[in-house]
Structure 1
């Protein structure tokens, strides 16, 4: 048995993932480095920035890798440490024959590490395609919750087969496009183009401040993830106006529809540029090292974003989260103290951990 903690300075991080066929962009060292950097957006920093680790556990049955982020927050004079998964997806990935036993033995070691590092709570958005919820539930019943459905494509299929399964609207928008849709280089100039479109989108949909990623964040993204990033740009054929763009993360057998953005002016067009842009990304991924392209889901059940993604995929898959309290006494004492100081009924808050409920964060 071996239990290792990799920090982002460890250059063996990615080699370990690749060697054991556990590579995934959300688990990569570059992705961890990206979200260790503080930006000029304090709400982004509060939610996504922290000390990143890759936990590597091996025993006679196989190997487990688990990316996690240690965050600190001060509440009513108490310094609190908790863990969360990388932005996107996380949870344990395992290569081995007896996954429940590997996870069970890993948990003993990891829970001890959490106690020794004063971790009060742990949260993770579980990797949908790894089905890691199955072996977690068998060892820790009650710790996982199904919160939504996401959609994916198998990129080993032919374009003709995938295209024939697209919904009618997708095929119509793809055929009738009056756009130039193409893959563009991963450069600082294109990072700034994407940020401009993304900023327009976030303001238009009134997104939470934590999702207003800065220009410095995107420039850093395009530098660190240069080899793991695909950008598709849609422009007006006549004027060259930038109308929409999307970013795909790719590393190992998994690719992800990561971020997308649309200009305000694109809303006046008869045919949305987003449909042909995603279709173009799918075409490019065919024949790549990726076996699966995860499109994700919506913000809410069956909202417009979920319907858009369902237009490309007939393959839904459940999405789970993992929640665990490591120090129940301290957690409950903190919740009661918050309740008394801010006159809030914490029992009504459906959020984990409760002390990070967005409306509460503003009061600390």
Structure 2
């Protein structure tokens, strides 16, 4: 049974489900975890609510030995175009990690029994709220998938790259020799790196980013509206910066960088391909790493390739740390098998539905 916040505070143990209506409480809980990251903050989740990804929720659990939290986006399945007019609204839901990385953070004395109790409480709450399934993108730097194998069906997809920021000498040493030469070339050519939060930078970024997405034939999801960018700029003002490369008074490469609690993330990026030969993004990312080192950050996570493949994007990131060994894992969980199967059955009536797809949840797969 779901306890009220008052009861939880009084008993010190129990569980709580918190929405953006309690942002102050949300962030207070998050920051009590040693390993918290920007992806768990309420304002980060709010940006993706603005983007249309669902309603942000923080699940918090505490017993006498450990505490656990998970941030997810709760989505009404009836809003999926495949279920229009086929299921009632506000009845069937699923949840997923906000864009980026996340999943349960667990701290304290973790035992088999405590994990089982957490799973029981979590599953009970999700069932009570009509939540059918969950998709998780675990955090490659925090490696929080390792102790959750009994709660989720976990699959390791591929590698990601993390730069260690303990010293500028170390940052430089970990670069590939080819990357060091490209950084030297960018500097010698007159490329300069700046950073800031001016709203005009945001407009520059939107134009450059959309142009980049057009050339990459990106899916509609990866085009963000102005409200989303304003949320990042205004709500995450202590956790975001825009880094940009300038050549002959023209911005030729830009990156939206997020940071919190000693961790930096390469969030969104765009560049003018006409100037790619100058390697502005190589210099830009190197300067981000140096900025992070000087400001007390320990890691700079660049991510991996598209679809976790070791593609050209992954190989580009790999040159920033030859020794990086992070892996990216996803987690799948079905809370209600009957309802899950019912939704899949509805989709099976479509002639182009791929019942053998590995996409999860299967009822959301689209051609």
Q: Same fold (TM over 0.5)?
A: yes
- 1:201 pairs with 2:212: yes
Report if the CA contact (8 A) 1:252-1:289 is conserved.
no
Provide Cα deviations, 1:122-145, integer angstroms capped at 9, x if missing partner. Answer: 1110111222222111x236x111
Report if the CA contact (8 A) 2:119-2:151 is conserved.
no
Instruction: Return the alpha-carbon distance in structure 1 between the equivalents of residues 354 and 243 of structure 2.
Output: 44
Report if the CA contact (8 A) 1:335-1:346 is conserved.
no
Tell me the equivalent position of 2:25: 12
Tell me the equivalent position of 1:357: 365
Tell me the equivalent position of 1:324: 333
Pick from 231, 236, 239 the counterpart of residue 220 of structure 1. 231
Instruction: Return the alpha-carbon distance in structure 2 between the equivalents of residues 203 and 345 of structure 1.
Output: 27
Residues 54 and 172 (structure 1 numbering): CA distance in 2 closer, same or farther, change over 3 Å?
same
Provide Cα deviations, 1:139-187, integer angstroms capped at 9, x if missing partner. Answer: 236x11111111112222x111221221122101111112443332212
* Equivalenced residues, count: 342
Mapping for residues 1-364 of structure 1, pairs under 5 Å: 1-10=13-22, 11-38=24-51, 45=52, 49-74=53-78, 75=83, 76-78=85-87, 79=89, 80-98=92-110, 100-137=112-149, 139-140=150-151, 143-156=153-166, 158-177=167-186, 178-236=189-247, 238=248, 240-267=249-276, 270-300=277-307, 301-313=309-321, 314-340=323-349, 342-344=350-352, 346-359=354-367
Q: Secondary structure of the residue that 2:136 maps to in structure 1?
A: strand
Q: Secondary structure of the residue that 2:233 maps to in structure 1?
A: helix
Residues 102 and 197 (structure 1 numbering): CA distance in 2 closer, same or farther, change over 3 Å?
farther
Q: TM-score, normalised to structure 2's length?
A: 0.88
Q: TM-score, normalised to structure 1's length?
A: 0.89
Report if the CA contact (8 A) 2:194-2:245 is conserved.
no
Offset at residue 23 of structure 1 (A): 2.5
Provide Cα deviations, 1:49-71, integer angstroms capped at 9, x if missing partner. Answer: 21101111111112111101100
Report if the CA contact (8 A) 1:179-1:273 is conserved.
no
Instruction: Return the alpha-carbon distance in structure 1 between the equivalents of residues 318 and 56 of structure 2.
Output: 33
Report if the CA contact (8 A) 2:196-2:243 is conserved.
no
Instruction: Return the alpha-carbon distance in structure 2 between the equivalents of residues 244 and 123 of structure 1.
Output: 33
Instruction: Return the alpha-carbon distance in structure 1 between the equivalents of residues 156 and 47 of structure 2.
Output: 28
Instruction: Return the alpha-carbon distance in structure 1 between the equivalents of residues 362 and 295 of structure 2.
Output: 42
Instruction: Return the alpha-carbon distance in structure 2 between the equivalents of residues 100 and 285 of structure 1.
Output: 38
Instruction: Return the alpha-carbon distance in structure 1 between the equivalents of residues 353 and 230 of structure 2.
Output: 42
Indicate the larger mover: 89-98 or 212-221: 212-221
Indicate the larger mover: 348-357 or 96-105: 96-105
Instruction: Return the alpha-carbon distance in structure 1 between the equivalents of residues 296 and 171 of structure 2.
Output: 17
Aligned Cα root-mean-square deviation (Å): 1.7
Tell me the equivalent position of 1:362: none
Residues 199 and 345 (structure 1 numbering): CA distance in 2 closer, same or farther, change over 3 Å?
closer
Q: Secondary structure of the residue that 1:164 maps to in structure 2?
A: helix
